[in-house]
Amino acid sequence: MADTEMGRRVSLDGIGGRGGGRGGGRGDGGEKDSKFFDENVDASPANATTTTTPPHGLLARLRHLEARMDRKLGIESDAIERKRAEDRQYVPWHEQLSMALLWASGTMNTSCFATGFLGRELGLDLRQTLLVTVLVSVLGGAVVGAAATFGAATGLRQMSVSRFSFGWWPSKVIAVLNCVQQLGWAAVSCITGGLALTAVSDGRVSLVLGIVILAVAAWFISVVGLNAILVYERYAWIIFFVIFMIMFGQTGRYADNTTPATATGTDLAGGVLSLIAVVYGSSASWATVASDYYVHYHADVSRVKVFLMTTFGIAIPTSIGMVAGCVVSSALNLRPDWDAAYQKGLGYVIQESLYPRGFAKFLLTLLVLSGINTNVIGIYSAALSFQQISRPFSLVPRFLWMLLSLVCILALALGGREQLNQYLQSFLSLLGYWCTSYIVIILEEHYVFRKANFDAYDLDGWNTPSRLPLGIGASVAFGLGVIAWCMGMSQTWFIGPLARLIGDRGGDVANEFTFVVTSLSYLPARYLELKHFGK
């Protein structure tokens, strides 16, 4: 996105049917794999709760254990199964607020605050940065809102919904990408939160320890299951909303509205496009998990309500966090002491800009917890995606996949902790690229080929390859989208030929180009697939 010199300058590393096959089992069409199960034992979650015969296979024992934990703790031993409409209960209106509050808790955090500093480093003035941040956050939130409407209507998790566009085999690639995305995003959150913890402790708590604390705390909440996540996230946002309001009250007076943009002409255009890519990626990246958190709602819940509450549940909190970062970053021009603290890291500039010092430390300590909110969503959805990569994977209990997710997050966060800013910029932009192709394919399939009618979906066949599309059209469009990313991306490590045409640093047009290419290519490719294969 930006050149290497700028990447070094933006020192953010200072903060921061029940299945369609035989038996309807989890992710494998109900079939048992003899490699993993004793032939005489049905290790499905339902049977594991009632059988008096002790399971003998390794995974059968683990599934039996998971079923017992489900009875006592509600950890969702059948998490990826389709939730039928008749099995879902009406959700009271006050609990429906979770459609927005879930995302508020997951987005109003130190990572968004850190992203708010990028406009200044890309050469934009405060007004330009604020305009891009707010408008693009709404756009990214709308992408997630559109994806969220499939959850209650189908009773399927987001990666399962993907099978009706991408087919059985290509959807596995999407599931792998989603695992990488969720774990990578959680790693970024661990780094920013861990650095804030280091700052508030005046260096006595190491970054490594801070990362471990945040990752383990989020993992513990995620293991319990969706009900615990919704309760936690329904209220966690309040703390961070209050903190950011305090930050606005104490730092807003120093916002620099007079210093003009340092970039001009094509360089300014390139900076705006690159900032759009980062902000869009930050919000739109939730589209690949959105339905995961709506399968418990009744099937006839208003899809307009789902869309609006999700869109603004992401856009408003994201804007609050990023705008706070924009304001503080602009004040560095007027406050040399803040700028000096910024050189040490973003956590230190937060501590320096708030007062009194003891109160600043207290707020910074609370901000550390914001990383947990993001990680809870990432770990939960990553485990669901792991289970949908292959049939054998679906037989592995969800709590084991969550343990693997924890290990991966720790590895990514500890390995990337020294170069957070470059990691953050590149990673968020890449998330936006593939999410753009994904949502275009999902929506064109729904509105063009299925006429926005959920009765056109063979929902009971969600887990049977023969009842799903082959995914040829989606594969072609997605593949062409990858080419579009490479042509239009502007990263510290690669600038595409289209991006190089915009300013000295390049301007990121990958999302825009990907949208056009994917939109135009999926329609004829999917039409030909239907014509020749009939599904």
Mapped onto helix, strand or coil, the DSSP state of residue 497 is coil
Per the listing, tokens 């209960």 go with: 89
List beta partners, residue 490: 495
Report the alpha-carbon distance of residue 184 to residue 474 in Å, rounded. Answer: 25
CB 48 within 8 A of CB 67: yes
How is residue 325 written in tokens? Answer: 């970062």
pLDDT score for 60? 74
Express the helix, strand and coil content of the chain in percent, nearest 5 each.
75, 0, 25
pLDDT score for 131? 96
DSSP state of 35: T
| Concatenated DSSP letters of 171-212 | HHHHHHHHHHHHHHHHHHHHHHHHHHHHHHTTTSS-HHHHHH
So where are the chain's domains?
91-419
Q: What tens-digit pLDDT sequence spans the chain (535 residues)? A: 444 334 433 333 333 333 333 233 333 443 333 333 333 333 444 444 444 565 667 777 777 777 776 666 666 656 788 998 888 888 888 889 999 999 999 899 888 898 999 999 999 999 999 999 999 999 999 999 999 999 999 999 999 999 999 999 999 999 999 998 888 888 888 887 887 788 788 778 888 898 899 899 889 888 877 778 888 888 989 999 999 999 999 999 999 998 899 999 999 999 999 999 999 988 998 999 999 999 999 999 999 999 999 999 999 999 999 999 999 999 998 999 999 998 887 788 888 999 888 888 888 888 877 878 888 898 999 999 999 998 888 888 888 898 999 999 998 888 877 666 566 556 666 667 899 999 999 999 999 999 999 999 999 999 999 999 999 999 999 999 999 999 999 887 789 999 999 988 899 999 999 999 999 999 999 999 999 998 8
Report the alpha-carbon distance of residue 192 to residue 345 in Å, rounded. Answer: 10
Report the alpha-carbon distance of residue 446 to residue 451 in Å, rounded. Answer: 6
pLDDT score for 70? 64
Q: Is 23 left (phi over 0), alpha (psi -120 to 50) or beta?
A: left
Count of beta carbons in the 10 Å neighbourhood of residue 294: 27
CATH superfamily membership of 91-419: Hydantoin permease (1.10.4160.10)
How is residue 437 written in tokens? Answer: 């192709």
CB 427 within 8 A of CB 118: no
Q: Is 502 left (phi over 0), alpha (psi -120 to 50) or beta?
A: beta
pLDDT score for 101? 94
Report the alpha-carbon distance of residue 370 to residue 190 in Å, rounded. Answer: 9
List C-alpha distances in Å: 12 to 109, 304, 316, 348: 14, 37, 22, 11
- The residue length of the chain stands at 535
CB 178 within 8 A of CB 385: yes
Question: For residue 356, with 0-12 CB atoms within 10 Å meaning exposed, 13-18 middle and 19 or more buried, which class applies?
Answer: exposed
pTM recorded for the entire structure: 0.85
Mapped onto helix, strand or coil, the DSSP state of residue 352 is helix
Q: Alpha-carbon dihedral of residues 186, 188, 193, 197, nearest 10 degrees?
A: 120
Q: Is 75 left (phi over 0), alpha (psi -120 to 50) or beta?
A: alpha
Report the alpha-carbon distance of residue 116 to residue 192 in Å, rounded. Answer: 13
Report the alpha-carbon distance of residue 36 to residue 247 in Å, rounded. Answer: 54
List beta partners, residue 486: none
CA nearest to 112, candidates 16, 214, 6, 213? 16
CA nearest to 386, candidates 175, 185, 162, 224? 175
CB 64 within 8 A of CB 275: no
Mapped onto helix, strand or coil, the DSSP state of residue 490 is strand
Q: Alpha-carbon dihedral of residues 425, 431, 433, 435, nearest 10 degrees?
A: -150
CB 489 within 8 A of CB 433: yes
CB 63 within 8 A of CB 43: yes
DSSP state of 434: H
CB 506 within 8 A of CB 520: no
Question: Using N-to-C axis directions, what is the helix angle for 170-200 and 357-368, rounded to 10°?
Answer: 160
Could you give the angle at the alpha carbon of 44 between the alpha carbons of 42 and 49, nearest 5°? Answer: 95
CB 444 within 8 A of CB 519: yes
